[in-house]
Structure 1
Amino acid sequence: MLTSNIYYVKVIGTVKSNESPPPQSDQMTNGHGGRTDAERTIDWHFEFKDIPDAGTGQQTVNGRLLYRFGIEGSDMLTFMKQLGYDYVSRHVLKGHTFFRDFATLSLHRVYRETSTDPTKPFDWSFMAQEDSLELIDKSGAYLCIASIDAEDDNVSANKDLATSKLVELRDLLKPVMTLAPVDRLALDTRAPSK
């Protein structure tokens, strides 16, 4: 059984399209019908997270953000190479994020690309073609994540405030959905699935 924290990193790029695309005759493409990389603004962030006391059932926290910072110059590949990581693949989250007090509620679907080479992180041609994305969960279900921003989770008053805000959010959304902690052991990719 796991009895210690599991640490992992994520690199997240937020893709923002131009609000009003140029007329079709003036639009530059990259050969696949999509906009060129120069027309996209991508804010890259590096996140260092952990799953505290995974598998023990002693924590009410499923995951926590330890540190997040922006990648200067938006050159994600060079930055990750310098840390010793290699790019493998990517997935796409499409959906919405809602904010209420300290609470953040993310409602997304997870997609994978079918028309582009997933090993090329700067090929954004799939963004122009809705049918080039395929749902990973064929049922069409959404991934819902509720979280609270707490400055220091080692202070019990902060934990209590964060917990009360999550309970308040859970009660508010009870007619629509059930918010409950997931099994932390299920979040560990090293553990066999049930």
Structure 2
Amino acid sequence: MHEFALYGQVPRELHHRTLQQLAGYTRMQPVDASEIHLVFKARQPPGLDKLPSAGGNQGVLQPEVQRWRNMLNASLYYVQLVGEIMPAKSSYDKKASTQNGEVSMTNGGSGGDAKPDIHWTLEFRDTPDPGKQAVSTRLISRTPLDDGNLVTFLDHFGYEYVSRYMLTGSKFYDIDTTLYLHKVLVLPQTSVESAMTDLSFLSNISELPELDGSGGALLQTSIDVVDGNNPELKDKATRQLLALKEGFKQAVDLTPGDRLALDTRLIVNRRN
């Protein structure tokens, strides 16, 4: 799957007006959206240093050795566990019948005791395509994950926990285009063991520090295309985003993302 996207900065003083404009453009009310992002980086495959290097007295590598060396030298990437925070369900919606037929609450009988449901997804985003592009285009992959120790799962696949942050804001939808006006919040860092379970900050999200000290927000407009290499689908997505850019040019300057800023590859020191 490929993502086509444009990005724009919204100053703090224009945040409310931009929300109104997005609501008018999409003809819908904003949908509250918050996501917890856990960042993981890939570990360098073991055994790379044991493979012989070409040059010097060793001469040219044999084809089989060269193939393995190229595989181990392939680019490594960051991936993320993204937890979409769903609205908390009131315990009054969760009822159970007792043996004598009476109705009792299964969650303590108080709506305040309900915990938000979090849907986790393993997300990979490639570096945007090179060259001058009208919109940012890159390969993405989202894999829903069920319950379990997801951190251990990623560790077994060669990924280690780095840090976490949070996105919070409002989403709008226009046909197949998603418009996400959001801010990046800094989460309290914790150990890898409690990165997913420590959710105490959800009770006071408004007190979390913002990454952008000016209070500005980011507007991301994006379209997900199953086959981004299909010229017809690619052209359609690009035209839709450019039309959106034209419609919002007086309010938000939507541009392709900086490729270096969106680079998801690790910088790894390798032995030549």
Report the TM-score range of the alignment, normalised by the length of the smaller protein.
0.7 to 0.9
Structure 2 vs 1, CA of residues 134 and 149 (structure 1 numbering), >3 Å: closer, same or farther? same
- Assess if the C-alpha contact under 8 Å between 1:15 and 1:41 holds in 2: yes
Report the equivalent of 2:187. 113
Report the equivalent of 2:116. 40
Structure 1 residue 52 displacement after superposition: 3.5
The 4+ residue runs of structure 1 with deviation greater than 6 A are none
Aligned residue for 2:179, secondary structure, equals: strand
- Cα offsets for 1:10-32 (capped at 9, x unmatched): 2201122424478xx96699xxx
1:165 and 2:262 aligned: no
TM-score where L is the length of structure 1: 0.75
TM-score where L is the length of structure 2: 0.55
- Assess if the C-alpha contact under 8 Å between 2:169 and 2:182 holds in 1: yes
Where structure 1 has 5 or more consecutive residues not aligned to the other structure, the ranges are 30-34
1:94 and 2:94 aligned: no
Report the equivalent of 1:9. 79
Where structure 2 has 5 or more consecutive residues not aligned to the other structure, the ranges are 1-74, 93-107, 268-272
1:149 and 2:224 aligned: yes
Superposed CA RMSD: 3.0
- Assess if the C-alpha contact under 8 Å between 1:102 and 1:165 holds in 2: no
Distance in 2 separating the partners of 1:66 and 1:131:
31
Distance in 2 separating the partners of 1:96 and 1:169:
17
The answer to which structure, 1 or 2, has the higher relative contact order (CA under 8 A, 6+ apart) is: 2
User: Number of residue pairs matched?
Assistant: 175
- Whichever residue aligns with residue 117 of structure 1, its letter is T
- Assess if the C-alpha contact under 8 Å between 1:47 and 1:65 holds in 2: no
1:180 and 2:249 aligned: no
Distance in 2 separating the partners of 1:18 and 1:109:
21
- Identity over aligned pairs, percent: 36
Structure 1 residue 140 displacement after superposition: 0.6
- Cα offsets for 1:80-111 (capped at 9, x unmatched): 12212122221011101111112111111001
Structure 1 residue 186 displacement after superposition: 3.0
- Cα offsets for 1:98-152 (capped at 9, x unmatched): 11112111111001124x7365221111111235411011001112111112221
- Assess if the C-alpha contact under 8 Å between 1:170 and 1:179 holds in 2: yes
Structure 2 vs 1, CA of residues 94 and 162 (structure 1 numbering), >3 Å: closer, same or farther? same
Distance in 2 separating the partners of 1:6 and 1:144:
28
